[in-house]
Structure 1
């Protein structure tokens, strides 16, 4: 039973590790420490392997639970018609089910992480067309939708931002803003402050 618990524990641990790169930006938002958002972005290339290990570990745990191997001691007990001791909760199918659900929640975190980011309240202002500027920032370090949401959130806090859209697929953020109220340097500073780095700037 100890080995089974270790397998379940390993499955849960790899599930958490697989999504650390996406969980950290949300934790950074909650803690108000934007700079730590990219701390675990180096784990992203390992994510498919960690997910595979999670599935293997929990799959094996379920196999052991559904098709238990009867030991000689258990056979003797069955022959003597002894009453089986009540299993601890950690050894039950219910616990394994909870562990599996937890792992699935962790692995799928990037798909629903955006719900943790509040939508910024935009003040309605009249902007002169001559003051509107559109810039693309190429960004290094974003690995999932949670990273992009974090960049968008911090850029949108600046005054004069009209539209800010970040994409981890394109590794960029496209920002339309009123250059009389904020500057290109301010936007780059906000992006760099998240822990992800602007590597190129293209004025549209």
Structure 2
């Protein structure tokens, strides 16, 4: 029984990780310096609803087994079996909450991306150019925050507007400080595939 429960919650955690892996992977590029991490797992995005459903089903079964076992022991005349922390409801609650945080990760992942803003003085004094790029490799709308946040780290980039629906980004930059090639390289560095559409 102990091994069955342990295998079940491990399966639940793995399913929760798989459900949000397309949004967790880009963070590897930011914090771990793993180039191309965003594109390794974007094929999993269509399976996200099924992974979420599987996670919920697994934890529903585990909680049912846990509560049913406790009720069965209370009904027996024998002294209840003492459980270790790893078999307790407290530990199961922690694992359940962790899985929930993994499932909802795409909704708060933007908190982990830095979005520096250029000063108003720098914007007003600069003569800007624009570059429009088609971007492949975005698996969900949250990828736009990853791209915009990374591009705004480039010295000379004033604004970045990425659209998931159009699969493109429009970047306004100061040509005295950066150029379209640097912007293109940055997008490749974080794991996406840019193609130049327009530069002026």
Q: Is the 8 A contact 2:117 2:158 kept in 1?
A: no
Q: Is the 8 A contact 2:8 2:58 kept in 1?
A: yes
What corresponds to 2:20 in structure 1? 19
- 1:13-52 to structure 2, matched below 5 A, reads 13-52=14-53
Q: Give me the whole-angstrom Cα distance separating, in 2, the residues matched to 1:70 and 1:122.
A: 61
C-alpha displacement at 1:147, in angstroms? 2.5
CA radius of gyration, larger in:
1
Deviations 1:67-119 (A, max 9, x none): 34988xx79x93xx432221122222222211111111001001101111122
* Alignment TM-score, normalising by the size of structure 1: 0.83
Deviations 1:156-198 (A, max 9, x none): 2223211012233442222111233322222112111211101
Deviations 1:13-66 (A, max 9, x none): 110111111112112211233432332222112211111111111111122223
Q: Is the 8 A contact 1:111 1:145 kept in 2?
A: no
The answer to whether structure 1 residue 153 and structure 2 residue 149 are counterparts is: yes
Q: Give me the whole-angstrom Cα distance separating, in 1, the residues matched to 2:71 and 2:189.
A: 58
* Alignment TM-score, normalising by the size of structure 2: 0.85
Moved more, 105-114 or 24-33: 24-33
What corresponds to 1:177 in structure 2? 173
Q: Give me the whole-angstrom Cα distance separating, in 2, the residues matched to 1:82 and 1:67.
A: 16
Count, aligned residues: 196
Moved more, 54-63 or 83-92: 83-92
Q: Give me the whole-angstrom Cα distance separating, in 2, the residues matched to 1:4 and 1:57.
A: 10
Structure 2: which 5+ residue stretches go unaligned?
none
C-alpha displacement at 1:152, in angstroms? 1.7
Q: Is the 8 A contact 1:155 1:190 kept in 2?
A: yes
- 1:63-142 to structure 2, matched below 5 A, reads 63-68=64-69, 78=76, 81-123=77-119, 124-125=121-122, 126-128=125-127, 132-142=128-138
Moved more, 29-38 or 62-71: 62-71
Q: Is the 8 A contact 1:117 1:153 kept in 2?
A: yes
Paired residue secondary structure (2:36): helix
Q: Give me the whole-angstrom Cα distance separating, in 1, the residues matched to 2:147 and 2:50.
A: 27
What corresponds to 1:191 in structure 2? 187
Q: Give me the whole-angstrom Cα distance separating, in 2, the residues matched to 1:187 and 1:176.
A: 10
Q: Is the 8 A contact 1:26 1:146 kept in 2?
A: no
